Structure 1
Protein backbone atom coordinates (compact mmCIF):
# COMPACT_ATOMS: atom_id res chain seq x y z
CA UNK A 1 0.00 0.00 0.00
CA UNK A 2 1.40 3.36 -1.00
CA UNK A 3 0.90 6.42 1.19
CA UNK A 4 0.62 9.30 -1.25
CA UNK A 5 -0.70 12.81 -1.68
CA UNK A 6 -0.44 15.27 -4.53
CA UNK A 7 2.05 17.20 -2.38
CA UNK A 8 3.39 17.13 1.17
CA UNK A 9 3.69 20.38 3.10
CA UNK A 10 5.36 21.39 6.34
CA UNK A 11 6.70 24.53 7.92
CA UNK A 12 9.75 24.84 10.16
CA UNK A 13 7.74 27.16 12.42
CA UNK A 14 5.56 24.15 13.35
CA UNK A 15 8.37 22.45 15.30
CA UNK A 16 11.71 22.78 17.07
CA UNK A 17 14.53 20.28 16.89
CA UNK A 18 17.21 18.97 19.21
CA UNK A 19 19.71 16.28 18.24
CA UNK A 20 20.43 13.63 20.87
CA UNK A 21 23.00 10.99 19.89
CA UNK A 22 21.81 9.66 16.51
CA UNK A 23 18.21 10.79 16.93
CA UNK A 24 16.27 14.01 16.63
CA UNK A 25 13.76 15.18 19.21
CA UNK A 26 11.06 17.16 17.44
CA UNK A 27 8.70 19.27 19.51
CA UNK A 28 5.49 19.96 17.61
CA UNK A 29 4.22 23.40 18.63
CA UNK A 30 0.79 22.73 17.13
CA UNK A 31 0.07 19.57 19.14
CA UNK A 32 2.40 19.99 22.11
CA UNK A 33 3.84 16.52 21.47
CA UNK A 34 7.49 15.51 21.23
CA UNK A 35 8.55 12.93 18.64
CA UNK A 36 11.77 10.96 18.20
CA UNK A 37 12.96 10.71 14.59
CA UNK A 38 15.82 8.81 13.03
CA UNK A 39 18.12 10.62 10.60
CA UNK A 40 16.21 9.50 7.49
CA UNK A 41 12.84 10.74 8.77
CA UNK A 42 14.42 13.98 9.96
CA UNK A 43 16.04 14.62 6.55
CA UNK A 44 12.68 14.00 4.87
CA UNK A 45 10.94 16.41 7.26
CA UNK A 46 13.59 19.08 6.65
CA UNK A 47 13.31 18.64 2.89
CA UNK A 48 9.54 19.07 2.91
CA UNK A 49 9.69 22.02 5.34
CA UNK A 50 12.32 23.84 3.28
CA UNK A 51 10.77 23.37 -0.13
CA UNK A 52 7.50 21.54 -0.82
CA UNK A 53 8.12 18.93 -3.49
CA UNK A 54 5.42 17.40 -5.70
CA UNK A 55 4.89 13.80 -4.59
CA UNK A 56 5.91 12.48 -8.01
CA UNK A 57 9.35 14.06 -7.63
CA UNK A 58 9.86 13.42 -3.92
CA UNK A 59 11.84 10.17 -4.24
CA UNK A 60 14.31 11.68 -6.72
CA UNK A 61 14.78 14.93 -4.76
CA UNK A 62 15.14 13.01 -1.48
CA UNK A 63 17.75 10.72 -3.04
CA UNK A 64 19.71 13.76 -4.21
CA UNK A 65 19.59 15.21 -0.70
CA UNK A 66 20.94 11.93 0.73
CA UNK A 67 23.52 11.76 -2.07
CA UNK A 68 22.36 8.33 -3.23
CA UNK A 69 20.60 7.08 -6.35
CA UNK A 70 16.81 6.99 -6.40
CA UNK A 71 16.97 3.18 -6.63
CA UNK A 72 18.65 3.19 -3.21
CA UNK A 73 15.61 4.94 -1.68
CA UNK A 74 13.15 2.11 -1.12
CA UNK A 75 9.50 2.97 -1.68
CA UNK A 76 8.40 1.25 1.52
CA UNK A 77 10.94 3.20 3.59
CA UNK A 78 9.82 6.49 2.05
CA UNK A 79 6.13 5.67 2.45
CA UNK A 80 6.58 4.59 6.09
CA UNK A 81 8.46 7.80 6.89
CA UNK A 82 5.77 9.92 5.20
CA UNK A 83 3.03 8.09 7.08
CA UNK A 84 4.79 8.54 10.43
CA UNK A 85 5.45 12.24 9.83
CA UNK A 86 1.84 12.78 8.79
CA UNK A 87 0.45 10.91 11.80
CA UNK A 88 2.70 13.03 14.05
CA UNK A 89 1.25 16.20 12.51
CA UNK A 90 4.67 17.31 11.23
CA UNK A 91 3.64 17.22 7.56
CA UNK A 92 0.27 17.34 5.89
CA UNK A 93 -1.04 16.31 2.49
CA UNK A 94 -2.11 19.00 0.08
CA UNK A 95 -4.07 18.82 -3.13
CA UNK A 96 -2.64 22.17 -4.23
CA UNK A 97 -0.47 21.91 -7.32
CA UNK A 98 3.05 23.26 -6.94
Structure 2
Protein backbone atom coordinates (compact mmCIF):
# COMPACT_ATOMS: atom_id res chain seq x y z
CA UNK A 1 0.00 0.00 0.00
CA UNK A 2 2.83 2.42 0.87
CA UNK A 3 4.41 1.73 -2.50
CA UNK A 4 1.17 2.52 -4.33
CA UNK A 5 0.67 5.80 -2.45
CA UNK A 6 4.28 6.81 -3.13
CA UNK A 7 3.99 6.16 -6.87
CA UNK A 8 0.64 7.96 -7.10
CA UNK A 9 2.12 11.06 -5.48
CA UNK A 10 5.21 10.99 -7.69
CA UNK A 11 3.01 10.50 -10.77
CA UNK A 12 0.90 13.52 -9.87
CA UNK A 13 3.99 15.67 -9.51
CA UNK A 14 5.54 14.38 -12.73
CA UNK A 15 2.32 14.98 -14.66
CA UNK A 16 2.55 18.67 -13.93
CA UNK A 17 6.00 19.07 -15.47
CA UNK A 18 6.01 16.93 -18.61
CA UNK A 19 7.17 18.88 -21.66
CA UNK A 20 7.12 22.11 -19.72
CA UNK A 21 10.11 24.40 -19.39
CA UNK A 22 10.49 26.85 -16.57
CA UNK A 23 13.15 28.95 -14.96
CA UNK A 24 15.29 27.10 -12.42
CA UNK A 25 15.55 29.30 -9.36
CA UNK A 26 15.08 27.63 -5.97
CA UNK A 27 15.73 24.25 -4.55
CA UNK A 28 13.85 21.54 -2.70
CA UNK A 29 14.47 21.22 1.01
CA UNK A 30 15.36 17.54 1.36
CA UNK A 31 15.31 15.81 4.74
CA UNK A 32 16.67 12.45 5.80
CA UNK A 33 14.13 9.75 6.66
CA UNK A 34 13.99 10.19 10.44
CA UNK A 35 13.95 13.99 10.36
CA UNK A 36 11.40 14.00 7.54
CA UNK A 37 9.00 11.59 9.21
CA UNK A 38 9.22 13.51 12.49
CA UNK A 39 8.48 16.73 10.63
CA UNK A 40 5.59 15.12 8.74
CA UNK A 41 3.96 13.93 11.96
CA UNK A 42 4.41 17.22 13.79
CA UNK A 43 3.27 19.35 10.82
CA UNK A 44 0.62 16.88 9.61
CA UNK A 45 1.96 17.05 6.06
CA UNK A 46 2.19 14.23 3.50
CA UNK A 47 5.60 12.96 2.48
CA UNK A 48 7.33 12.14 -0.77
CA UNK A 49 10.24 9.75 -0.44
CA UNK A 50 12.81 9.68 -3.23
CA UNK A 51 14.82 6.47 -3.15
CA UNK A 52 18.04 6.86 -5.14
CA UNK A 53 21.52 5.40 -5.55
CA UNK A 54 24.79 7.12 -6.42
CA UNK A 55 25.26 4.84 -9.45
CA UNK A 56 21.73 5.46 -10.82
CA UNK A 57 21.92 7.68 -13.92
CA UNK A 58 18.14 8.30 -14.12
CA UNK A 59 18.26 9.36 -10.45
CA UNK A 60 20.95 11.90 -11.33
CA UNK A 61 18.84 13.20 -14.22
CA UNK A 62 15.88 13.63 -11.90
CA UNK A 63 18.08 15.66 -9.54
CA UNK A 64 19.38 17.81 -12.39
CA UNK A 65 16.18 18.30 -14.38
CA UNK A 66 13.08 17.44 -12.36
CA UNK A 67 13.96 18.61 -8.88
CA UNK A 68 15.30 21.94 -10.15
CA UNK A 69 12.10 22.72 -12.06
CA UNK A 70 10.39 25.78 -10.60
CA UNK A 71 6.92 24.19 -10.76
CA UNK A 72 8.11 21.05 -8.97
CA UNK A 73 9.89 23.09 -6.32
CA UNK A 74 6.71 25.07 -5.70
CA UNK A 75 4.55 21.92 -5.45
CA UNK A 76 7.13 20.28 -3.18
CA UNK A 77 6.43 22.96 -0.57
CA UNK A 78 3.16 21.13 0.16
CA UNK A 79 5.04 17.98 1.16
CA UNK A 80 7.86 16.88 3.39
CA UNK A 81 10.50 15.83 0.88
CA UNK A 82 12.64 12.89 2.00
CA UNK A 83 15.67 11.55 0.12
CA UNK A 84 16.93 8.04 0.92
CA UNK A 85 19.97 6.28 -0.52
CA UNK A 86 18.58 2.81 -1.30
CA UNK A 87 22.03 1.19 -1.14
CA UNK A 88 22.79 2.58 2.31
CA UNK A 89 19.25 1.95 3.60
CA UNK A 90 18.39 -1.43 2.09
CA UNK A 91 16.04 -2.46 4.89
CA UNK A 92 14.02 0.74 4.55
CA UNK A 93 13.85 0.31 0.77
CA UNK A 94 12.64 -3.27 1.25
CA UNK A 95 10.02 -2.11 3.77
CA UNK A 96 8.64 0.27 1.13
CA UNK A 97 8.72 -2.42 -1.55
CA UNK A 98 11.37 -0.68 -3.65
CA UNK A 99 12.73 -3.22 -6.11
CA UNK A 100 13.99 -0.96 -8.88
CA UNK A 101 15.17 2.60 -9.19
CA UNK A 102 13.98 4.85 -12.02
Q: Quick check: which has more Rg, 1 or 2? A: 2
In terms of fraction of residues, the more strand-rich structure is 1
Structure 2 length as normaliser, TM-score? 0.31
